[in-house]
Amino acid sequence: MSKSTPYQSRQSDAHGKIAWSDEENQIWDELCHRQLNLLQGRACQEYLDGLELLHLCKGGIPQLPQINKTLRACTGWETAEVPALINFTAFFTLLANKQFPVATFIRNRAEFDYLQEPDIFHEVFGHCPLLTNPAFAHFTHTYGKLGLAANKEDRVYLARLYWFTVEFGLVSTSQGTRIYGGGILSSPGETLYALESDTPLRKPMNPIDALRTPYRIDIMQPLYYILDDFGDLFTLAEADIMALVAEAKQKGLFEPLFAPKEKQAG
């Protein structure tokens, strides 16, 4: 979270609205159209239900006050405008207060398919629909409270649990395996890769294992964990997660399933 970014977040007016440009609205519409075509039969029903409630693909980038109105009515959550990058303390503080951080910029066409920074498409399209769901909202709130109280080392372990659930989680359903992780739902390449490629491993969700699994943010994931049922997020939120962190620390990390990231010269 400390690295620099070429993007600069837009500022809202006194009414919480942002004057997006025609080009920015067009990029949103194209991203929405592409993902909607891919997600049918691949996204979990809880996500699709939230997508319908929020009306995110009705033309142009949605304004956060309207999203907040729906989220508050469903689960008591709302969004919070943030810069392109925030630190862990700011992140956990927002989640602990039922505020989901949304960086108010959208990717440019040079990074249309993928960017490492979480932009408004990733945050709003990828995550906000599931914040209408009580189990997902409760898990995210609990995670925020735990992260805010945790020390630096424990936060790194907690980040792995978030990564393999909220960002890159899969769930078993009566119709087959479906996606609920926002990092997949907002990425066309990973949407297909996560479900249909023979390359990655897919394992049943075991929180201890997830806490012990290294990851990289700049590659297709080599491993996905699958919940038995979406309601397991609520069960996990009610578990003693910090005791699981302590057990994971005692057992140590698994060997990474990826090569080390190459250092850039200079």
CB 183 within 8 A of CB 164: no
Q: Is 167 annotated as a binding residue?
A: yes
State which amino acid sits at residue 177. T
Nearest CA to 70 out of 110, 18, 124 is that of 124
Q: What 3-state class would DSSP assign to 80?
A: strand
Q: Is 190 annotated as a binding residue?
A: no
Quote the CA–CA distance of 255 and 62 in Å, as a whole number.
42
DSSP one-letter string for 181-247? -HHHHT-HHHHHHHHH-SSSEEEE--HHHHHT----SSS--SEEEEESSTTHHHHHHHS-HHHHHHH
Strands 176-179 and 170-173: antiparallel
What residues contact residue 246 under an 8 Å CB cut-off, 6+ apart?
none
Q: Is 127 annotated as a binding residue?
A: yes
CB 86 within 8 A of CB 64: no
What residues contact residue 243 under an 8 Å CB cut-off, 6+ apart?
none
Nearest CA to 183 out of 197, 195, 167 is that of 167
Q: Can you say how many angstroms the Cα of residue 4 is from the centroid of all Cα atoms in its chain?
A: 20
- Output the six-digit token pair for 83: 């810069």
Residues making up the annotated binding site are 122, 127, 167
Residues making up the annotated binding site for Fe cation are 122, 127, 167
